[in-house]
Amino acid sequence: MSITKDKARRLLRENSLRVTGPRLAVIEVLAEANKPLSYGEVLKRMGSTDWDPATVYRNLVKLREAGLAPVVSRAAGSDRYVFSPGKGAVHRHPHFVCDDCGEVSCLPTNLTSSISMEGPWAVSIQQAAVQLRGECPDCMDRKYLGRT
């Protein structure tokens, strides 16, 4: 899922945000990734186009505030943004967090999940997003049981 510069411009205007180089670049990166990216990941993907890191950071915040880039995952300690053209559009499906590389992927929709419980936690969990962590056997040994 990418986005035309024109559409990006329009979206920004519609949300009373000025159209600037870095801003368009950030939107482009998010739109092309099509999965949740952290500030750091966005930065990496901006690579050669060397916009200022602080600017990228502040643009993510702005876009989030405008509803154009909601945070849909906080795995691994940092907020992860997705591009969301439609203001209220929800990005709510299971994510897979790799304990190895730390990447967060959107799981295909052919995943079947059902979770239910009783008691005090039930309410919270109704609002919870399912997040799966994975680890290959190697990683498990290395990181979880403490082998070096």
Residues that bind DNA in the complex, under the rule CB under 7 A: 12-13, 17-23, 38-40, 43, 51-55, 57-59, 62, 78-79
Q: Per CB under 8 A, does 148 bind a second copy?
A: yes
DSSP notation for 60-97: HHHHHHHTSS-EEE-GGGS-EE---SSTT----S-EEE
Least separation in angstroms between residue 8's CB and DNA is: 11
CB of 19 to a second copy, least distance (A): 19
- Smallest separation, CB 91 to DNA (Å): 19
C-alpha angle 140-142-147 in degrees, rounded to nearest 5: 125
CB under 5 to 8 A by kind: which of DNA, a second copy, none does 89 bind? none
Q: At what angle do helices 21-33 and 5-14 cross, to 10 degrees?
A: 110
- The contacts of residue 129 (CB under 8 Å, 6+ apart) are 72, 73, 92, 94, 95
Which residue lies nearer to DNA by CB, 40 or 85? 40
Q: 105: Cβ–Cβ under 8 A, 6 or more apart, which residues?
A: 35, 95, 96, 98
Tokens 């056997």 belong to residue? 137
Shortest spacing between CB 37 and a second copy, in angstroms: 15
Site string for a second copy, 64-93 (x = CB under 8 A): xxxx--xxx-xxxxx---------x-----
- Interface contacts to a second copy, rule CB under 8 A: 61, 64-67, 70-72, 74-78, 88, 96, 98-99, 107-108, 110-119, 121, 124-125, 127-137, 140, 143-148
